[in-house]
């Protein structure tokens, strides 16, 4: 499963990318709004740092505006994947952008039916939001099970990108269910590293080693 970082913070990415575990990045208007610099310059820097797919979302709400904005975003860097919100304008824009050879991530997916429609118009990624479903007492990972099952029934090239992840178990479950990609905030990626037994184990190994090397007598 590919791991994407869900952030528009270049410094966070500069710390994560050298670890070799980050395959791409997702941003959204809320994340880009936190960056002080010009959003297009931020996106370009992210593409340079990551060297993998970087989702950049349109803010137009009509299909023609989404296509126009999507083309502008795609011109920033070949790594840009244009993100469009699900809906009739988004589906239409996805079809047009895909026909132009531009990769599209259809976002704000909350049902398997929506994912199926996005796949039909050639989306490169569909982004079901598991955390926001959990927030309204609906199991987000059940949606991933449904979408992965449906996509296995047809020769679709659309990848299931699990989004809105809130903790390590979302990532573990996404991998177990066979999702193609999981995008996570950097703090969730950090949490994947943690296990108290690893810390205790290392402490003991180092203590034993230091004791054995103390001069005798
Ligand atoms: C994904 O592409 C979105 O940017 C993101 O995962 C949304 O997460 P949130 O529900 O924590 O805002």
Tens of pLDDT along 152-193?
999 999 999 999 999 999 999 999 999 999 999 999 999 999
Ligand 1: residue of 164, 166, 184, 185 to mutate (most ligand atoms within 8 A of CB) is 164
**Ligand 1 site, CB within 6 A:** 6, 26, 28, 107, 127, 129, 131-132, 163-164, 183
Look up the CATH number of domain 2-212: 3.20.20.70
Q: Give the model confidence (pLDDT) of 25-53 as tens digits.
A: 999 999 999 987 899 999 999 999 999 99
Neighbouring C-alpha atoms within 13 Å toward the C-beta of 173: 17
175, two tokens: 């991998």
Where are the extended beta strands (E) located within the chain? Answer: 2-6, 24-26, 54-57, 80-85, 104-109, 125-128, 159-162, 181-184
Q: Supply the pTM of this predicted model.
A: 0.95
């Amino acid at each position: 499963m590919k791991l994407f970082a869900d952030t528009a913070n270049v410094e966070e990415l500069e710390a994560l990318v050298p670890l070799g575990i980050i395959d791409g990045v997702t941003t959204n208007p809320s994340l880009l709004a936190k960056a002080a610099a010009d959003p297009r310059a931020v996106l370009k820097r992210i593409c340079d740092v990551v060297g993998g797919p970087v989702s950049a979302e349109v803010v137009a709400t009509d299909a023609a505006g989404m296509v126009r904005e999507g083309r502008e975003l795609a011109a920033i860097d070949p790594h840009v994947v244009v993100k469009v919100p699900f809906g009739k304008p988004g589906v239409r824009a996805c079809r047009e952008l895909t026909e132009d050879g531009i990769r599209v991530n259809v976002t704000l997916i909350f049902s398997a039916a929506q994912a199926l429609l996005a796949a039909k118009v050639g989306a490169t990624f569909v982004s079901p939001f598991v955390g926001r479903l959990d927030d309204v007492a609906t199991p987000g990972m059940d949606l991933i099970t449904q979408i992965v099952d449906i996509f296995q029934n047809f020769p679709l090239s659309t990848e299931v990108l699990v989004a809105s992840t809130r903790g390590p178990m979302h990532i573990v479950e996404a991998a177990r269910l066979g999702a193609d990609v999981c995008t996570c905030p950097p703090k969730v990626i950090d949490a994947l590293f943690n296990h108290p037994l690893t810390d205790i184990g290392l402490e003991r190994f180092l203590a034993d080693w230091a004791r054995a090397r103390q001069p005798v007598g």
